[in-house]
Homo-oligomer: A and B are copies of this chain.
Amino acid sequence: MRTRPLKVALLGCGVVGSEVARIMTTHADDLAARIGAPIELAGVAVRRPSKVREGIPADLITTDATALVKRGDIDVVVEVIGGIEPARSLITTAFEHGASVVSANKALLAQDGAALHAEAQENGKDLYYEAAVAGAIPLIRPLRESLAGDKINRVMGIVNGTTNFILDKMDSTGAGYQEALDEATALGYAEADPTADVEGFDAAAKAAILAGIAFHTRVRLDDVYREGMSEVTSADFASAKEMGCTIKLLAICERAADGGSVTARVHPAMIPLSHPLASVRGAYNAVFVESDAAGQLMFYGPGAGGSPTASAVLGDLVAVCRNKLSGATGPGDSAYAQLPVSPMGDVVTRYHISLDVADKPGVLAQVATVFAEHGVSIDTVRQQGKDGEASLVVVTHRASDASLNGTVESLRNLDTVRGVASIMRVEGE
């Protein structure tokens, strides 16, 4: 084994960073044996140097992150600051000064992944980011490497633990959205401002990263259709139950049937209770992958938290250090396929639509005609009367999102349709 240590600079020392530093110390011998050389924490860049950080020598702490990555003797920079700047500039500077980078930064990777990969490659360095998607669940490495000889057709996952906690709570207790959110906040699963989670921004960033890797295609954050889950109601769960389904916030990346394009989207959807994703409870994450040869795979585990995220960071750190010692780099960005990303209107799936209608003869015929005019085929209709009003629940066969939107617009124009109570996609069949 090489005795001269590889030097690691840590940018950020919050929940994840402090856990990375702790494991680097407590598991030093194991990490050295697995890498083939010891690793040494050479510096830790923080914003608040006065905060006591147990187990980290005070002389390693600095507020000058740029000077740290410019030192020139750093082998690997671990970026766990999050956000776009200064993380982006620091990573670029790291590459230019001889370091490879391990990052847990999904927002940055989703927005600037292509440029960062190009910079890594120009400088002959590695950029690894297993922790950016679904915490500790090994996902990027399996998709990029284990399935490298296969053709992935669909990646469908629960990639946000906060929203899964809320939806699971609504499903199991009958709680409304606000009540479940409040509990998530009280337990620390949701942040004070939960927008990034509940409106699907976090999941959309992960969808962009996953779609890019799965389809060897550049998928930008703007390419991802996004719909949050803050409008899911107890009534939606009741409807889902009647169909033998539950509701999950899903990130779905699909190759079109003709193989010529891809789509990426995030929205709440009903899935059958028999689907492996339906039984993913609490704040857990899971990603279901369908490929030509391997068939159906699922990867399950904790999607967030200091320790799980640190586990993913350290797995990458070991790999990047090994690459460094052997003078090689790992599999980098792969966007050779350059498939176009289609808009949401082209997505084909099934829909569950609840309508409030007048309770009189001929309404069902009118409604059915509208669906037919838009080429949307109906699978089942359930009609329920109540005090002169009635509700119609329509479940469609597979149709494009554009056709469905056209249908709904026409339905709203019918005198006999008082309102469209809810529209939800049905996935996983």
Q: Which residues of A are in contact with B by a Cβ distance under 8 Å? A: 19, 23, 27, 30-31, 33-34, 130, 135-138, 141-142, 145-151, 216, 276, 279, 291-302, 305, 307-308, 310-319, 322-323, 326-329, 331, 334, 336-337
CA distance A146 to B302 in the complex (A): 14
Residue of B at shortest CB range from A305? B295
Residues B312 and A145 in contact, CB atoms below 8 Å apart: no
With beta carbons under 8 angstroms apart, the residue of B19, B31, B145 that contacts A319 is: B145
Assuming A146-B141, A298-B301, is B318 touching A293 (CB within 8 A)?
Answer: no
From residue A119, how far is it (CB to closest CB) to chain B in Å?
19
**What are 12 inter-chain pairs, A to B, with CB distance below 8 A?**
A30-B151, A33-B216, A33-B336, A34-B149, A34-B334, A141-B145, A146-B315, A147-B311, A292-B307, A295-B305, A326-B329, A327-B327
Q: Which residues of B contact A27 (CB under 8 A)?
A: 149, 151
Residues A297 and B327 in contact, CB atoms below 8 Å apart: no
Residues B300 and A136 in contact, CB atoms below 8 Å apart: no
Copies in the complex: 2
Most chain-B CB neighbours within 10 Å: which of A135, A296, A297?
A: A297
Residues B307 and A293 in contact, CB atoms below 8 Å apart: yes
Q: Which residues of B contact A331 (CB under 8 A)?
A: 34, 322
From residue A45, how far is it (CB to closest CB) to chain B in Å?
20
Residue of B at shortest CB range from A322? B331
Q: Which residues of B contact A300 (CB under 8 A)?
A: 276, 297-300
With beta carbons under 8 angstroms apart, the residue of B130, B149, B318, B327 that contacts A314 is: B149
Q: Which residues of B contact A314 (CB under 8 A)?
A: 148-150, 293
Residues B295 and A307 in contact, CB atoms below 8 Å apart: yes
Residues B312 and A146 in contact, CB atoms below 8 Å apart: yes
Assuming A308-B293, A314-B149, A334-B34, is B136 touching A138 (CB within 8 A)?
Answer: no
CA distance A162 to B170 in the complex (A): 38
From residue A352, how far is it (CB to closest CB) to chain B in Å?
24
With beta carbons under 8 angstroms apart, the residue of B137, B142, B293, B319 that contacts A23 is: B293
CA distance A294 to B310 in the complex (A): 8
From residue A386, how far is it (CB to closest CB) to chain B in Å?
38
Residues A31 and B307 in contact, CB atoms below 8 Å apart: no
Q: Which residues of B contact A31 (CB under 8 A)?
A: 149
CA distance A307 to B311 in the complex (A): 32
CA distance A31 to B316 in the complex (A): 24
Nearest 9 pairs between A and B by C-beta? A149-B314, A138-B146, A136-B294, A293-B311, A328-B328, A138-B142, A148-B318, A294-B311, A297-B301
Residues B276 and A311 in contact, CB atoms below 8 Å apart: no
Residue of B at shortest CB range from A302? B295
Residues B294 and A302 in contact, CB atoms below 8 Å apart: yes
CA distance A334 to B30 in the complex (A): 11
Residue of B at shortest CB range from A331? B322
From residue A124, how far is it (CB to closest CB) to chain B in Å?
11
From residue A260, how far is it (CB to closest CB) to chain B in Å?
15
Residue of B at shortest CB range from A148? B318
Residue of B at shortest CB range from A141? B146
Residues B149 and A334 in contact, CB atoms below 8 Å apart: no
Q: Which residues of B contact A19 (CB under 8 A)?
A: 293
Residues B148 and A315 in contact, CB atoms below 8 Å apart: yes
CA distance A368 to B322 in the complex (A): 56
Residues B136 and A295 in contact, CB atoms below 8 Å apart: yes
From residue A350, how far is it (CB to closest CB) to chain B in Å?
23
Q: Which residues of B contact A151 (CB under 8 A)?
A: 27, 30
Residues A315 and B136 in contact, CB atoms below 8 Å apart: no
CA distance A153 to B314 in the complex (A): 17
